[in-house]
Amino acid sequence: MPADPNHPGSLTPAVFADSFRHCTPALWCIAAAVLGERTHAEDVLQEAAMTGLSKLGAFVPNSNFAAWMGQIVRFTALNHRRKLQRRAQSETASAAPDLGIPAPAPSSGADFDARTTAALGTLTEIARACLLLKTVLELDYGEIAQTLEIPAGTAMSHVHRARAHMRALLVDDVPTKQEQHA
């Protein structure tokens, strides 16, 4: 990648900080999506930001900052999640995710949220990211596509399929094993 610090479109630390500020919520959502939970999302985002800041020269001038930083966040979160999984596996043999979502009873908010978290874990990382960016931040598909470096149609497909899958798990019916892997 070109790394001319004098290029007008290159990243300076100040530009980095400003760009980071503008897309912090989206990047946080990506981190939470990859992790499948929110507890460590901010830590991951901070680590990713430091990674990005340490390699400004790798940024292609005039390219999309959110996409570049989003990819760093995804990889940082993946590394973090794998570490957590390895730690969990070493601590307990019963740490495997429970994909058997209990029967639907969307009456209690906390209970339903717990099931939502479990159901979210049955989606792919990219589907989770699309779903959260659309549902929580209400980004349009073009913005999601840019942030995740995927076609807008793919983002739309991920959102629709993820929503249908979540509703099937949480609202409509008890899932079959095959549906969980669909």
Partner 1 sequence: MSDERDPVDASLRRLFAPPDLGGLQAKIAAAAAAAALAPVEPQREASPRRRRVWGTTIAATAAAAAAALLLSTRVQHSAAVFEPAADPIVAPVFGPREQAGAQLARFYVSGTALARLDDADCLGAPPIPEACDGSAPEPRLAPSDALEVIGECGALGGPTCDGYDLPAARLVQLRVRPQGPRLLVCVEPRDADPRPLLPDDSGLQLFRRELGAFILYEVTPLSDSLALELFSL
Which positions from 57 through 116 interact with partner 1, judged by CB under 8 A?
Answer: 57-58, 71-72, 74-76, 79-80, 82-83, 85-86, 89, 106, 109, 112-113, 116
Pure H helices in 12-151: 13-35, 41-54, 65-91, 109-120, 125-135, 141-148
Which residue of 42, 100, 153, 174 would you call a contact of partner 1, by CB under 8 A?
Answer: 42
Q: Which amino acid is at 137?
A: L
The per-residue DSSP string of 156-176 comes to HHHHHHHHHHHHIIIII-PPP
The distance of closest approach from Cβ of residue 5 to partner 1 in the complex, given in angstroms and rounded to an integer, is: 5
Q: Which two tokens stand for residue 165?
A: 């899958």
Nearer to partner 1, 51 or 64 (CB): 51
Can residue 163 be called a binding residue for partner 1 (CB under 8 A)? Answer: yes
Count residues near partner 1 (CB under 8 A): 74
Can residue 166 be called a binding residue for partner 1 (CB under 8 A)? Answer: yes
